[in-house]
Structure 1
Amino acid sequence: MSNFHSFPSTPFIRWFVKDNQSLDRDIRLKLLKGPFTSRAALVAAGMNTLLVCSVAVVLHPTLFFISWLVADMVIWIIRWFLLQRFMASGKSSLRYATDLSLLFGLIWAAEIGIGTAGCIISQDPVLQVLACTSAVSMNGAIAMRNQGIPRYAFTQILLTDIPMKLATLFQPEPMLRLLILQAPMYLTGLWVLLNNLNATLTTAYISEAQSTHSATHDKLTGVLNRLGILNLMTASLNSKTHGDSDFCVLCLDLDGFKKINDANGHATGDRVLVSFSEMVTRVVRKGDAVARIGGDEFIVLMPDTDKISASLIAERIIKGLEDYAGKYENYEGLGVSIGITQTSPSEQGSVDQVLSRADVAMYNAKSAGKNCFRFG
């Protein structure tokens, strides 16, 4: 299931999920996804608490237990609605959808804790066993499901556990008060478990991100490699997000690079490639993608643009390289030929065909005298 959750908007809810602020945004979003990833978990939790509440009402049809049953059902319905309508379906039009989902997760935990406390105070051994077993099992599920946000998960556990422990003070069996003595060890163990699970999950996400980055980025320059840009171009051709918005592809090939590389060594050639990629990255727009697809050949993908904008970028790249080469005597003759093609997502064509058109245009630029751009 796709994840459509976002970071919380309110300071109160943000406090519960602000761990790992130094991590990449995508990793932090992945760590936050626990409460939004499984309808099955929500259904199982709802059936569990509904069973305990129903048994309590059957055995003791008091106002407290009837209210507990009603509250449990209402809270579950709201949580299901938020997950189904604003998270799972990807149609989130509610600004505070994430905040509300996390808030009602806390309210749900408090409701379980208060209801469990009522079962203990009732002195009914059946309810005491059922409610305490249910609460402890729910805490384990909370730790596993929300391990990416340990502060939030531990707060849920506290809201579930503390009322249950305090309730032992208001019933006549003194041995049950041993639960209070057990609380520090139990809660410390869960806190350690949560942090260990979180560390393991975080390491896994970081390793995944690094692996993905290595597979799609050029090791020398840090820009995208052939696989990375082909993936983006494929997505652009298949895009339904921007309708029929055109995108432009620029094919760049350095002129005079081989001569400089042969005369000055590969280390100098590498510095030229790195400097050129950095310059191009600075020149293009924030949403554009730069890739080195091999040797001294680069690709720029410009989504939602036209030939005029692409021309301006091409001119800036040519001028930027001229200024760079002018600083070094041994870089004489260094330039760039650029081929540009404009494509619409509605066109029937492949990535290879788009690249081929841009490549032909680039060779036309070389034939026209190099250090210029042509359209294809």
Structure 2
Amino acid sequence: MFLSPRVYSSPRWRPIRWIADPGRDVTPEIREALVGSLFGTLSIFYGGMLNTVLVAVVITLHMRTAPFYGWLGIEVAICVARIVVMTIARRAGLARQPTPTDIHIALALAWAGSVGLGTYFCVTRGDWLSAAMACLSAAAMCGGICFRNYGAPRMTTLMILLSLGPTCVGAIVVGEPLFLLTLLQLPVYVVSMSSASFRMNAMVVATMRSERENAHRARHDSLTGLLNRASLIAEIREASAARMAAGRYLTLLYLDLDGFKPVNDSYGHGCGDELLVRVGARLRDAVPGRGQVYRIGGDEFVIMLRNESRESVQALAQQLLREIGEGYELSGGLQVRLGVSIGIAHVRPEGQNADAILNMADRALYMAKAQGKGRYEFAAAEHETAAGSH
């Protein structure tokens, strides 16, 4: 729901960082999505500016005095700048380059201030037709401000104050007793709209967290925290879609633990689960930053490598035979040992079917087990085989 191909930079200026902060603890991923939301809902973005420019034009043509011509110039300049910055930001975000987020937010605040400046001019000039038009326009904009900027409720509050606050100042300057009622209305309105914005932000953040938790559960093994079979198939398909350079290899090491079932049957599923977690940790430690580890079911694991030579894959397989075969001390001081058999598919992935590549590694694993376990075998895809033993 909240995923976007564009990535926008977080604010760098300290005041803007505070203004754009959601006011609650969120993960960096969610914070990035909230910043991105400030560049969305373009219909409100462009519609709001079109409205304020048209209102400024109509009122200026009606009043025809220097302050209003100045206000119209400011309004047009800010809106043009906002459009330019928005265009630059969206292009940069799509290219994953730094975006002018600070300027974008600063211009949004300036736009709100310009709306407020217009209401002040209209109220203090005593032209109630213009004042009514300007104040109604400013009030209407607040709904869009609240809805569009749900990712930054502090920004919403500040923009509402900048849009409507000058009306109260104008009421004081005019001194009309009835108009002073705005001094009571504005605080209530700002508090209610600000509260609504913070509540909307909380609901959106909760939804984002739920979506990401569900996505994580769908792609990860709940016991070990490793990626699961669905993630493996997706990664193989990505590598197979002609996205790896010609001549580069994709490697799958399909591991099956030797001796796990007797441990699980003798000491219970609790010990078996703990052992699987420990094995997963050793596999992760064996390929830090080099490959990805998956648990695809039971006591079966897969390591995926990209652009590795056959020699480096052989060295890794020998390393895994040694490290997985070392003893494990489980809860209660229980000492157990395991072995591992490994089937290896070392292929060029262009145009290959994901299931076919995985089946190649599975067949190589079967060969390793058939020849005595505790060893590795390469799939015969390259018309050559190699075997090693621990």
The change in CA–CA distance for 1:110 and 1:246 in structure 2 (over 3 A counts) is farther
Please tell me whether the aligned partners of residues 242 and 351 of structure 2 are also in contact (alpha carbons under 8 angstroms): no
Amino acid at match of 1:145: R
**Aligned pair 1:374/2:340, yes or no?**
no
Higher mean C-alpha deviation, range 74-83 or range 196-205: 74-83
Give how far 1:54 is off.
0.8
Structure 2 counterpart of 1:140: 143
> 109, 113, 116: which one pairs with 1:113?
116
**Aligned pair 1:40/2:43, yes or no?**
yes
**Aligned pair 1:201/2:204, yes or no?**
yes
CA distance in 2, matches of 1:118, 1:356: 75
For residues 141-160 of structure 1, give each alpha carbon's deviation from its aligned partner in whole angstroms, at most 9, with x where no partner exists: 11111112212222222222
Please tell me whether the aligned partners of residues 112 and 160 of structure 1 are also in contact (alpha carbons under 8 angstroms): yes
Structure 1 counterpart of 2:345: 341
- Structure 2 length as normaliser, TM-score? 0.85
> 282, 288, 295: which one pairs with 2:285?
282
Q: Secondary structure at the match of 2:225?
A: coil
CA distance in 2, matches of 1:108, 1:307: 61
**Equivalent residue pairs, number:** 373
Amino acid at match of 2:343: G
For residues 153-189 of structure 1, give each alpha carbon's deviation from its aligned partner in whole angstroms, at most 9, with x where no partner exists: 2222222222222122222533222111222211111
For residues 311-343 of structure 1, give each alpha carbon's deviation from its aligned partner in whole angstroms, at most 9, with x where no partner exists: 4544443333223448887534x1222233345
Give how far 1:131 is off.
1.2
**Aligned pair 1:130/2:136, yes or no?**
no
1:222-371 equivalence runs, <5 A: 222-238=225-241, 240=243, 246-286=249-289, 288-303=291-306, 305-307=308-310, 309-325=312-328, 331-332=336-337, 334-344=338-348, 347-371=350-374
Amino acid at match of 2:341: S
Please tell me whether the aligned partners of residues 42 and 80 of structure 1 are also in contact (alpha carbons under 8 angstroms): no
Give how far 1:284 is off.
2.2
Structure 1 counterpart of 2:386: none
Structure 2 counterpart of 1:51: 54
Amino acid at match of 1:279: R
The change in CA–CA distance for 1:10 and 1:260 in structure 2 (over 3 A counts) is same
Please tell me whether the aligned partners of residues 22 and 201 of structure 2 are also in contact (alpha carbons under 8 angstroms): no
Gaps of 5+ in 1: none
Task: Find the structure with the greater CA-based Rg.
Answer: 2
The change in CA–CA distance for 1:89 and 1:95 in structure 2 (over 3 A counts) is closer
- Structure 1 length as normaliser, TM-score? 0.88
CA distance in 1, matches of 2:151, 2:293: 33
CA distance in 2, matches of 1:156, 1:90: 24
**Aligned pair 1:176/2:175, yes or no?**
no
Amino acid at match of 1:106: L
The alignment's C-alpha RMSD in Å is: 2.7
The change in CA–CA distance for 1:374 and 1:159 in structure 2 (over 3 A counts) is farther
Give how far 1:113 is off.
1.7
For residues 218-249 of structure 1, give each alpha carbon's deviation from its aligned partner in whole angstroms, at most 9, with x where no partner exists: 22222222223223333333475x75565433
Please tell me whether the aligned partners of residues 229 and 291 of structure 1 are also in contact (alpha carbons under 8 angstroms): yes
CA distance in 2, matches of 1:314, 1:209: 34
Amino acid at match of 1:337: S
For residues 35-72 of structure 1, give each alpha carbon's deviation from its aligned partner in whole angstroms, at most 9, with x where no partner exists: 21122221111111111111122112223222322322
Q: Secondary structure at the match of 2:303?
A: strand
Gaps of 5+ in 2: 380-390
Please tell me whether the aligned partners of residues 3 and 36 of structure 1 are also in contact (alpha carbons under 8 angstroms): no
Please tell me whether the aligned partners of residues 145 and 156 of structure 2 are also in contact (alpha carbons under 8 angstroms): yes
Please tell me whether the aligned partners of residues 4 and 88 of structure 1 are also in contact (alpha carbons under 8 angstroms): no
Percent of paired sites with the same residue: 31
